Amino acid sequence: MKGSRITKRAALRLLKDAELLPLGEMADRIRKEMHPEGTVTFVVDRNINYTNVCINKCRFCAFYCDVDSPHAYLLSAEEIFRKIDETIALGGTQILLQGGLHPHLTMEYYLSLLKAIKARYPIAIHGFSPPEISYLAAKHDLTIRETLKILKEAGLDSIPGGGAEILSDRVREILSPRKIKSFTWLKVMEEAHLLGMRTTATMMFGSVEGPEDIIDHLDRIRELQDRTGGFTAFIPWSFQPGNTELGIGDWGTGIGNRKKSNPHSLSPNPVNAATAAEYLRVLALCRIYLDNIPNIQASWVTQGLKLAQIALRFGANDFGSTMIEENVVASTGVSYRVTKDDILHAIRSAGFHPAQRDTCYNVIRRF
């Protein structure tokens, strides 16, 4: 596909001007070439958010708490084990272990947790996104590579792509000024890939970015994937404004008014959720641009099952996780509760064959 791959300029034109249905057809053709058997995969797993305490206070996040908040929590090892027991009983093969940047947690906490989980359970640990890894490295005066190596030896299997949002420091300065910059997010992923760990990549769009920022984000991911090949999947999801600083218009730019539009945004109102058409347009563009990433995930957690079904005709070939538990998106007030049977039915009735996969996207069961 290289050589004939789409350029940034052509992608920008498509994102801004293409008609939605032809764009979807283009993405669907590419999806069919990459996955001709018509399988749509999903993983049975549970999100375990070990703490909601976070010093970053991102403006799009409704999940975090200050360390002294009455709502702050830190799960005990026993609570985490109980959640894993339930996950395994439901046929789960993976836990997604993520949390905020808790100022009191040291490497010791992470290592003993990883080792204790691995000693008890045959389960994959997909955990600690780049902001957590980079925070831990800085705390212990370690390099990113050293930190990843230590965590990997203790049992960390793969890394989720959270914390990417939009890989533009101009946008990050508005969304999450305390969070790691684009370079560091990419550096964590590159080092993880070089250590043989597989990771996913994400993009949160539909807030204050413009179409150019979306294309730059995709280009940085594609460029890293050309060098390492370590990304298993790309997961675009749209900003959910409920209960967030950004959603109420208080986002520190001096505008302070959610009804005011951003002339550089895809959306006339940058702090409202992206529409279904905007979601599908960006999703299709992701499939078209990321010719070196095999899997594109539909986000039923933010879009609901019905739109996720349509996403399967706009380039997506994976349904993500059954999400036995989900806390972060639910904090915004968006909460779609679905069972594994709902997912099987949604995939089948959209005309595809459902299959359960593992963390590395190997099919382990067909239905």
Cα-based distances in Å from 58 to 173, 180, 270:
10, 11, 16
Q: Determine if 188 is a binding residue for ligand SF4 (CB under 6 A).
A: no
Distance CA 102, CA 137 (A): 13
Q: Determine if 57 is a binding residue for ligand SF4 (CB under 6 A).
A: yes
In the complex, what is the shortest distance from the CB of residue 101 to ligand SF4, in angstroms, rounded to a whole number? Answer: 6
Options 14, 30, 43, 58; binder of ligand SF4; rule CB under 6 A: 58
Other C-beta atoms closer than 10 Å to the C-beta of 104 total: 9
Place of tokens 């294309």: 215
In the complex, what is the shortest distance from the CB of residue 241 to ligand SF4, in angstroms, rounded to a whole number? Answer: 14
Q: Determine if 92 is a binding residue for ligand SF4 (CB under 6 A).
A: no
Window of 40-48, 56-64, 78-86, 238-246 that interacts with ligand SF4 by CB under 6 A: 56-64
Reduced to 3 states (helix: H, G, I; strand: E, B; else coil), residue 313 is coil
In the complex, what is the shortest distance from the CB of residue 99 to ligand SF4, in angstroms, rounded to a whole number? Answer: 7
| Nearest one of 23, 25, 30, 79 to 51, comparing CA atoms | 79
Please give the residues from 129 up to 168 whose contact with ligand SF4 meets the rule CB under 6 A.
131
Window of 53-61, 89-97, 190-198, 229-237 that interacts with ligand SF4 by CB under 6 A: 53-61
Decide if 154 contacts 107 (C-beta within 8 A). no
Residue 354 pairs in a beta bridge with 40
Decide if 217 contacts 203 (C-beta within 8 A). yes
Window of 55-63, 153-161, 272-280, 314-322 that interacts with ligand SF4 by CB under 6 A: 55-63
Options 28, 35, 56, 278; binder of ligand SF4; rule CB under 6 A: 56
Q: Determine if 63 is a binding residue for ligand SF4 (CB under 6 A).
A: yes
Bridge-based pairing of strands 353-357 and 363-366 is antiparallel
| Nearest one of 172, 277, 168, 178 to 212, comparing CA atoms | 168
Q: Determine if 54 is a binding residue for ligand SF4 (CB under 6 A).
A: yes
Q: Which residues bind ligand SF4 (CB under 6 A)?
A: 54, 56-58, 61, 63-64, 100-101, 131, 176, 179
